Structure 1
Amino acid sequence: MSITVGDVVDLGRGLYAWLPPKRGWGLANCGLLVSPRGALWIDTPYDPVLAGQFLAESAKRLPDGVSIDRVIVTHANGDHFWGAGVLPDAEIIVTREAREHIHYEPSPQQQHALVTGGDRSTPLGAYLGRHFGPFDWSRTEPVSPTTYFTGELELSLGDYPVQITSLAPAHTTGDLMVHLPAQSVVFSGDIIFSSSPDQPGDHPIHWEGPLSNIIGACEQVLATGAETIVPGHGPVLDRDGVREHIGYLAYIRERAHHFHAAGVPSIDAARRVIAENRYPGLGLPERLVVTIGSEYRQLDSSERPSVVQVMTDVATVAHEVEQVSETAGAAG
């Protein structure tokens, strides 16, 4: 199965958002800012094929003699980061805190081996193959950032200011948001996942937390005054869409704290929240295993499990959800 390029949305004044054509693991939104004196990306696609498609779309919008010489990475998950290899001479900007998450995730080639070499008869192997098999990192070398910062960093691209703000640990340990005041736009990265009636999205996944920090980061987005928000995944939002997302996060936080206080293990808490079916339009409910597990870890001050262990639990719950759905379908 191949993945094709999505829509390029013109946000005005040299700013574009590249939106993948469907929901699912690894299909992240990216940004392009263009001026007569330069261009930059905000995040990159997951693998060289998708990154090459985004680069080709970007090239159509570049003035003569202008190249993309900067990449701002909102966080160090591979689906926002690994595609930077198609711009080998670009400056890659991340927060200092992002280094921790870079070391937590497998390298591109390790992940490729895990996906292609897994036993498809197991829930984990089947899950990884189904959701990550379309990507190809067989020849993808690890990407090394070139610029690290703490706090805030302000750049200029021609006449356009670019305001970059690091965030407290939220989706990962090293998130940032990019505010483009001339365009009244914020690229939020994965502190926000979005959905709409005509473009349903997926449940968010958060590796770090606590959820109170993620809610606080969403409020920082609103505090910029920006009218348009490009989330890490899903359709472009207005301010009310961010407020609705805060409501989702508050609900997950309340349920996680409720079940934690009752002594329910985190994976069973995720199962119970999935069964409540409060947001039936969202896909990948098994990702609540990660988000609720992260919240429990913050409450318990416990150690972070390996990515493989986390994804094994995700795959197990996904398999259970599929079985329930098939049983309900047969009964109906």
Structure 2
Amino acid sequence: MAKAFASQGDMTEKKISFTEVGEGLYAFTAEGDPNSGVIIGDDSVMIVEAQATPRLANKVIDCVRSVTDKPISHVVLTHYHAVRVLGASAFNANQIIMSDTARGMVAERGQEDWDSEFQRFPRLFEGHESIPGLTWPTTTFNDKMTVYLGNRRVDLMHLGRAHTAGDIVAHVPDQNVMFTGDIVEYHSACYCGDGYFGDWGTTLDRIKAFDVDAIAPGRGDALVGQEMVNAAIENTRDFVDSTYAAAARVAARGGSLKEAWDAVREACDPKFADYAIYEHCLPFNVARAYDEARGIAHPRIWTDKRDVEMWEDLQS
């Protein structure tokens, strides 16, 4: 291909932050790299998002051990993407929880996603040799599931399609804090390559209706306070809508993928070019927006081969 994906040259190590977002609730963030969440219950700990490799997961565990010695009993995975799930084995949890839909996507496209993401963004797979294989849940649910960590209640919910078909959120009612996965981002580009542009806004509305006091987003800083929470939700909405609208106009007149790429850049570069992983996400976002606008309802499976073909098309 004419040049490498932007993310293939991104080898700068990111600074880790471990921010308390409520009593016994923490956001593990790393300047736009995938976040994890920590929910400390009476007797045990729940982790939200497992990182891409066991070695990276151990960085989360180190942070957990700085605040509690309680055992990790549950790992919740908000969706199926490799950078979120392949580190799960490091936690030695009793339960690994996904939505039914997310489990189905592991079966349908989990290996292809792993191969694709590893090729695109090698830095996020530090210690990849330690991955034992695809991560499968021990427990799944459809719309809602409640887990009790002693007296602490955690509601796991599928509020709608957005970043993927099987996205879930974790809400802790006693602190009114939510862990949203990649449905909400903060000063980081949304990855929309497996997304549902037409549904994403409605799902954001359902999150907003909880009027939460803090969010641990999928990427970017922890969101503490309703003003910051609402700003991030609306900024995420603007990112998704701006991407789709520009690509859809091109698709409606029968334009090419390359023309959609140019149109999205014109619409989004002035607002979002300085966001983390913006250049990495852009080609995949444009390709999915262009497909959806042309009536391809469900995201096509990304493979390492399709990635390269799409990128070469955009560089032609």
**TM-score over 0.5 for the pair:** yes
Among residues 271, 274, 282, which one is paired with 1:288 in the alignment? 282
CA distance in structure 2 between the partners assigned to 1:165 and 1:109 by the alignment: 25
The answer to whether the aligner puts 1:278 opposite 2:270 as a matched pair is yes
Is 1:136 aligned with 2:127?
A: yes
* 2:109 counterpart letter in structure 1: Y
Secondary structure at 1:71 match in 2: strand
Corresponding residue of 1:100: 104
- Kept after mapping to 2: 8 A contact 1:82/1:108: no
Superposed CA offset, 1:160-180 (max 9, x none)? 221111143321121101111
Counterparts of residues 237-316 of structure 1 (less than 5 Å): 237=223, 238-276=229-267, 277-279=269-271, 280-282=273-275, 283-302=277-296, 304-312=300-308, 315-316=311-312
Shift of 1:248: 2.2
SS, match of residue 153 in structure 1: strand
Per the alignment, in what secondary structure is the counterpart of residue 45 of structure 1?
A: coil
> For residues 211 and 4 of structure 1, do their structure 2 counterparts lie closer, same or farther at Cα, with a shift above 3 Å needed?
closer
What secondary structure is seen at the aligned counterpart in 1 of 2:128?
coil
SS in 2 for 1:291: helix
Q: Structure 1: how far apart are the matches of 2:173 and 2:114?
A: 38
In structure 2, which of residues 62, 67, 76 is the aligned counterpart of residue 61 of structure 1? 67
1:205 aligned residue: 191
Aligned partner of 1:79 among 80, 83, 98 = 83
Q: CA deviation at 1:297?
A: 2.7
Match of 1:163 in 2: 155
Q: Structure 1: which 4+ aligned runs deviate by more than 4 Å?
A: 1-5, 107-112, 313-320
Taking only the aligned residue pairs, the percentage that are identical comes to: 19
How far is 1:15 from its partner? Answer: 0.5
Write the mapping of 1:91-130 to structure 2, written as runs, cut at 5 A. Answer: 91-102=95-106, 103-106=108-111, 110=115, 115=119, 128=120
> RMSD over aligned Cα, in angstroms?
2.7
Taking structure 1 as the reference length, the TM-score comes to 0.79
Q: Which residue of 2 aligns with 1:154?
A: 146
Correspondence for 2:8: none
User: Please, which runs of 5 or more residues in structure 2 have no aligned partner?
Assistant: 1-10, 224-228
Aligned 8 A contact 2:20 2:27 in 1? yes
- For 2:25, the equivalent position in structure 1 comes to 15
Q: Are 1:267 and 1:289, in contact at CA under 8 Å, matched by a contact in 2? A: no
* Cα distance in 2 for residues equivalent to 1:297 and 1:318: 14
Name the SS for the 2:184 alignment partner: strand
Higher RCO structure (Cα 8 Å, ≥6 apart): 2
Structure 1, unpaired ranges of 5+: 116-127, 196-200, 321-332
Question: How many residues matched?
Answer: 294
Give the conservation status (yes or no) of the 8 Å contact 2:52–2:124.
no
Q: What's the offset of the Cα at 1:47?
A: 1.3
- Within the candidate set 215, 224, 247, 1:229 is matched to 215
Question: Given that residues 16 and 33 in structure 1 are in contact (C-alpha distance below 8 angstroms), is that contact kept between their aligned partners in structure 2?
Answer: yes
Query: Do the aligned partners of residues 16 and 319 (structure 1) sit closer, same or farther apart at CA in structure 2, a change above 3 Å counting?
Result: farther
Once the two structures are superposed, residues 10-59 of structure 1 have per-residue CA deviations (whole angstroms, 9 ceiling, x without a partner) of: 12211111011x33xxx211111112322110111111221111112112
**Cα shift at 1:233:** 0.7
Distance in 1, matches of 2:114 and 2:161, equals 27
- C-alpha separation between the residues in 1 aligned to 2:18 and 2:280? 30
Shift of 1:185: 1.3
Which residue number in structure 1 is paired with residue 7 of structure 2? none
Give the equivalent residue in structure 1 for 2:181: 189
